[in-house]
Amino acid sequence: MLPERLSTGTGRALLDELTARAAGAGYQDMRLWVLAGNERARRFYAKAGFAPDGAAEAFEVGGVSVPEVRYARRLSASVAAAPSLG
């Protein structure tokens, strides 16, 4: 990621739109995987209401094990009512 693209609100806007659409479609929760060592991403998701749910896995990339943790968030009707970006 380019430094000038960090903290511009784009990621948050995309995540807000995704959670609103998921809630609007009737989903009750969302889950995502994040690299265990990516503290910036983990803070981002935590600020958005996601939390680790205890699941962890590793996958291999070029012969290197890459650990991930799963984050989850309960969706609510208020998320579905959030303003749309489009």
Smallest CA-to-CA distance from 51 within 70, 36, 24, 76 is with 70
pLDDT in tens, 32-53: 999 999 999 999 999 999 999 9
Provide the pLDDT for residue 86: 44
Is 60 among the domain residues?
Answer: yes
**DSSP per-residue string spanning 15-53:** HHHHHHHHHHTT--EEEEEEETT-HHHHHHHHHTT-EEE
**Tally of domains in the chain:** 1
Boundaries of domain holding 48: 29-76
**Does any domain span residue 46?**
yes
The pLDDT, as a whole number, for residue 9 is: 82
- Tell whether 2 is covered by a domain: no
Q: Looking at the domain assignment, is residue 63 inside a domain?
A: yes
**The pLDDT value given to residue 80:** 46
Among 5-9, 23-27, 31-35, the minimum mean pLDDT is found in 5-9
Look at residue 78 and tell me whether its pLDDT is greater than 90.
Answer: no
Token digits of residue 73: 């968030």
Are residues 47 and 7 in contact, defined by beta-carbon separation less than 8 angstroms? no
